[in-house]
Amino acid sequence: MMKRTVQEIQLDGIVGPTHHFGGMSFGNVASMQHAGWHSHPRQAAQQGLAKMRQVLALGLGQAVLPPLPRPDMCFLRRVGFSGSDTEVLAKATARAPYLVSLAISSAFMWTANAATVIPSSDSADGRCHVMVANLMATPHRALEGQERAMMLRRLFRNAPLVVVHDPLPANPALSDEGAANHCRFATSHANRDWHLFVYGRAHDTPKRDLPRTFPARQSREASLAVARLGQLRPGRGLFVRQQARVIDAGAFHNDVVMVNDADRLLLHEQCLVEQETVLQQVRKHLPTLHISQVRQRDLSLRQAVKSYLFNSQLLRSPQGNVLLAPMQSSSGPAVKVIQRLLDEGFVDRVVFQDLDQSMAGGGGPACLRLRLPLTAQELATLTPGVILDAAKVQRLETWVEQHYRDELTPRALADPALLREAQQALDALTQILDLGAIYPFQQ
């Protein structure tokens, strides 16, 4: 069978108007450390758009995923608050402030967690499958799944070609964190694309092998279910466990200690259980894969989590293999590792990107995007308005400047004016992206 030609599109989430540091992600060191800090939504959104502009400048495809509506008024109504939006927000703030914190979270900006994608070239039925994550591990992100599924179905207008699946059942045994724990390899060998699923726990994992400080979010049962739903061809996947010590060091998702693109894999030497055996299996399936392991003595787990080097984007561009890295990895031990990658030819170029607002919440360049490997026909089903060019980025930058606050304090999150501002901003965004009425408040 002839291999389908696939183009990878970077789908980045736009930072929402309620971007703040709620500190609700236990196990995410940056989120915990910056809880309660004053946030800068305008700057956060501008930094995200600047990264998208950089990807375009590299000659690669870039699209945007609109923010989810926040505060989540549907959620607050479902837990017993009634009245107008303003009344619901006021009542919930007075009686259930913790629930308001969940309802106002803008963690959806980290789109790598939104779903796992099995391209049509790798699926048994020849269709592209998008398995939306249930994000059961944290209460604020558990609100996202169904909303994201509905939105992605609006963006992909041809279900026979691109299938968007509902999240897995809301059960802790099926905790799924999306593409942050998934890698897809594509080498020059025809029909040899291959998938690596990384999980932190399984129903039969001995207690002694589980993390002691922070929870293991991704379950093996969820990873297996995702592969089944995505109809991944037999023999195309490997399911491996993340080291407990890595999770306890703050690598709450595997993309904090591993990154890949096509025929390249960069990972910390303490990333996986029985890592050498795993890599031998990977090499057996993909003999031309370039693997670079970073030693603990060169970059400790603590330094890896602090620098977010492995949360860089590895990108194949017309200019060669590019590492789009967070500014935090431009100094100290991380930059020495990067220099070695350049010297060895693992990458051809490095671009450092300022994403301070995202990084303060625990999300680097790779967290902000979901990879969409699409054929030309599948790409044609994506709503044209979300596909970016330089002019569209400029319109979005102007939109952010007009609608986003410069600063948000924790107290300001319950301000009814912020609710109105957020809805006005999203209403204007749907016009820019030509999406129609996709939000409940627009109905």
The residues assigned a catalytic role are 177, 253, 367
Kindly list the distances between the CA atom of residue 14 and the CA atoms of 41, 286, 333, in Å, as whole numbers in the listed order. 11, 35, 31
- Evaluated on CA atoms 425, 441, 132, 119, the torsion sign reads negative
Element at 258 (helix H, strand E): strand 258-261
Residues 6+ apart with CB under 8 A from 372: 8, 9, 10, 11, 63, 117, 382
CB of 231 within 8 A of CB of 116? no
**C-alpha span between 65 and 437 (Å, rounded):** 15
**C-alpha span between 416 and 368 (Å, rounded):** 28
**C-alpha span between 396 and 110 (Å, rounded):** 18
**C-alpha span between 396 and 394 (Å, rounded):** 5
Nearest to 338 by CA among 306, 298, 302, 373: 298
Nearest to 108 by CA among 73, 145, 75: 145
Nearest to 247 by CA among 42, 81, 27: 27
Helix, strand, or coil here: 163?
Answer: strand
DSSP secondary structure string for all residues of 76-98: HHHTT--SSHHHHHHHHHHH-HH
Nearest-10 Cα torsion for 415, 417, 418, 424:
160
Angle between helices 416-432 and 85-95 (to 10 degrees): 130
Kindly list the distances between the CA atom of residue 426 and the CA atoms of 415, 420, 421, 442, in Å, as whole numbers in the listed order. 17, 10, 9, 10
Kindly list the distances between the CA atom of residue 186 and the CA atoms of 7, 178, 267, 416, 442, in Å, as whole numbers in the listed order. 12, 19, 17, 49, 42
**C-alpha span between 112 and 308 (Å, rounded):** 15
